[in-house]
Chains A and B, each alone.
Chain A
Amino acid sequence: MSESEAQSKPQIIELRKLTKTYYRGSEAVEVLRGLDLDIEEGAFEALMGPSGSGKSTLLNLIAGLDSPTSGQLLVAGADLGKLNDTQRTKWRAQNVGFVFQTFNLMPVLTAAENVALPLLLTNLPAAERKKRAETALSVVGLGDRMHHYPRELSGGQEQRVTIARAIVTDPRIIVADEPTGDLDRDSAEEILNLLGRLNTEFNKTIIMVTHDPAAAERATVIRRLNKGVLA
């Protein structure tokens, strides 16, 4: 990151009086209660909180997977509350990379093919898609595992493939939902190092939900949610 960029970091996420209410039958469950939040581009933030605190709901809203009940949700220049499902889907494809707790790679595809999956939605020629997938795998240190199937990879390697898939479209934001939850300590460390590199070397904004305080310590900002409000 250049010095001038560091000096003028724009807000990539702006939440104003954001609420999200679910209905369990006729009973309204207010999961997020008027959140205000600003996150700078290039931040690495961890969201923590007890189960049911609303952290996954907040992550889903920021990632454009869900729409708010009320309030403003500006992410990467889009007012997500005003987009319909198709518009949000297309926005996600361009702006968000996803890392999940369980890796959920397609077992019938090789590592390179899994990584290239989001590029199928672009107009890039096959050779370019392949090249970009290989580059992304090299970034996560799996340049020698491109043609391996998920069953031939360790858990840590699978999660690294997931991260390569998340960055292959060069999104501005990476959302990670318990990215180390299914990994042993060494693999978790590798993944956290990788996320840190993506943040510092590639200026990716990373929002990570975690229960693990050690993982959260790797973020530059830790936010705690409790009963739908930021502590």
Chain B
Amino acid sequence: MRLADLGVRNVMRSRLRAIMTVFGVAVAILAFIMLRTVLSAWTVAAEVAAKDRIVTRHKVSFIMPLPAKYYGEVSQIDGVKETCSMNWFGAKDAAHPDEFFGTIAADADACLKVYDELLITPAEHEAWKQNRSGAVVGDALAKKLGWKVGDRVTLTGSIYPGEFPFQISAIYTATRKSVDRSTFYFHYEYMNEWAKTNMPTAADQVGWIASRVQPGKRAADIAKAIDQHFDSGDIQTLSQDERSFNTSFLGMLSAVLTALDLVSIVILVIMMLILGNTIAMGVRERTQEYGVLRAIGFLPKHLALFVLGEAATIGLLGGIVGVAISYPIVELGIGRFLEENMGAFFPFFRIPPLVMVMALGLALLLGLLAAIIPAYQATKLNVIASLRKVG
């Protein structure tokens, strides 16, 4: 037995209390990990954004459209390699009215060049291009709604009010897990033709333009060139590299993200207070023992070591249990469910390894912080007064 062992052994003095405290810490760590995973899942798109991809939108707001002619003009700007226009369509499958998924009208020819992380076979791509009402859907969405290639689907538009029949031309997968696999892509022309007839004010407009820059060119320079090109036009643009664009999109959720951030911290503070209370109770109950230890030669620093060791052990145990239970809950349960059912929001809902390491480190650190006051009290123990309790 060593000095440090004593603190560890003390953990199991009051077995039920220790188990409950470890469980409490574990639940707090689980909540922390889940909140951090939500934050991570939301920001992953910004983090993994392509460095050579630019998104051009209306300078005033993301929700305001650009003239369709801008699409062609952007592709002519020096340094731009590929360009694709995109419109947020906003529609639901009448057969699954409660299911939300992204619906985007895009240039079928160009969008798979700009977004080369979306994978379909050349034959499927050709089939899509040939089919005016063809659509390409993510495999997660297809799995959830039971769609197969060749199926006919009718979507009900909300921004473009009407019934839109489609045929699934291909089901895309992705080169990496962080890509949204729950989006429904279809031909821009299909939507625009409908708009010209039924909603002329919305015709010949694009939501945003995505571009890939030529190798060796800096995305920031090309973005600046695009904006300068439209500076004298009726509608000015704001071009950003994809990371900035995704970040500005997240900016709309900044209050929610900040709240989640704060809540995750509050949870840890609550955990620290619970742990601190448990440790303080233990120190109070062991006043006599600490008095005896001081009498037989232990110094105040030794008592502090025992208290801190006990708190660190409980914190670390709680952290380990929290990480251990959060892994199957998120990776095998909630994560899969969210990816399959809310892929548009959470294309990749998995615990980042860094969050697990952070959770363990914080459990240990906060355990130690929680024990600072009880440890200080133990060091200030009056030996005679505590021994008086003995006899």
Contacts and interface: CB of A to CB of B under 8 A. Distances in A.
B299 A89 contact: yes
B297 A90 contact: yes
A12 B208 CA distance: 95
B281 interface: no
Looking at chain B's contact residues, the main secondary structure is: helix
A104 B292 contact: yes
Of the candidates B3, B293, B302, B391, the one having the most CB atoms from chain A within 10 angstroms of its own CB is B391
B1 A120 contact: yes
B294 interface: yes
B355 interface: no
Contact of B10 (A92, A108, A177): A108
A65 B3 CA distance: 22
Interface string B56-85: 000000000000000000000000000000
Interface stretch (B173-181, B195-203, B257-265, B382-390): B382-390
Contact of A116 (B1, B292, B391): B1
Interface in A79-115: 86, 89-90, 92-94, 97-98, 100-102, 104, 106-109, 113
B2 interface: yes
B299 A86 contact: yes
Contacts of B9: 106, 108-109
A97 to B, nearest CB: 8
Of the candidates B10, B289, B293, B387, the one having the most CB atoms from chain A within 10 angstroms of its own CB is B387
Nearest to B8: A108
A66 interface: yes
B313 interface: no
A178 B390 CA distance: 11
Q: Name the interface size band of chain B.
A: 20 to 34
B249 interface: no
Contact of B1 (A56, A92, A109, A169): A109
A73 B287 CA distance: 28
B256 interface: no
B296 to A, nearest CB: 5
A34 interface: no
A93 B296 CA distance: 5
A198 B209 CA distance: 94
A57 B106 CA distance: 91
Contacts of B96: none
A102 B3 CA distance: 24
A211 to B, nearest CB: 11
A161 B302 CA distance: 22
Contact of A98 (B2, B288, B292, B384): B292
A196 interface: no
Contact of B13 (A104, A108, A118, A177): A108
B73 to A, nearest CB: 78
Interface string B1-38: 11100100110110000000000000000000000000
B6 A106 contact: yes
A92 B391 contact: no
B295 interface: yes
A121 interface: yes
Interface in A105-158: 106-109, 113, 116-118, 120-121, 126
A66 B296 contact: no
B10 A104 contact: no
Contact of A63 (B13, B295, B298, B302): B295
B296 A108 contact: no
A102 B1 contact: no
Nearest to A178: B391
B391 A165 contact: no
Contacts of B295: 63, 65, 92, 98
B289 A104 contact: yes
A93 B3 CA distance: 15
Interface in B285-311: 288-289, 292-299, 302
Contacts of A100: 292, 387, 390-391
Contacts of A178: 391
Nearest to A107: B13
A120 B390 CA distance: 23
A101 B391 contact: yes
Given A89-B299, A118-B297, A104 B288 contact: yes
Nearest to A110: B1
Contacts of A101: 390-391
A90 B300 CA distance: 12
Contact of A108 (B2, B12, B384): B12
A4 B293 CA distance: 37
A104 B390 contact: yes
Given A104-B288, A104-B289, A106-B289, A93 B297 contact: yes
A107 B13 CA distance: 8
A102 B387 CA distance: 10
A60 B3 contact: no
Contacts of B297: 89-90, 92-94, 118, 121, 169
A181 interface: yes
Contacts of A65: 295, 383-384, 387
A60 B384 contact: yes
A129 B1 CA distance: 9
Contacts of B13: 107-108
7 contacts: A98-B296, A104-B390, A106-B6, A108-B10, A109-B6, A120-B1, A126-B1
Closest 7 CB pairs of A and B: A93-B297, A101-B391, A108-B9, A104-B292, A100-B390, A118-B296, A102-B390
Given A100-B391, A121-B302, A126-B1, 8 more contacts: A65-B383, A89-B298, A94-B297, A106-B289, A108-B9, A120-B2, A121-B298, A177-B387
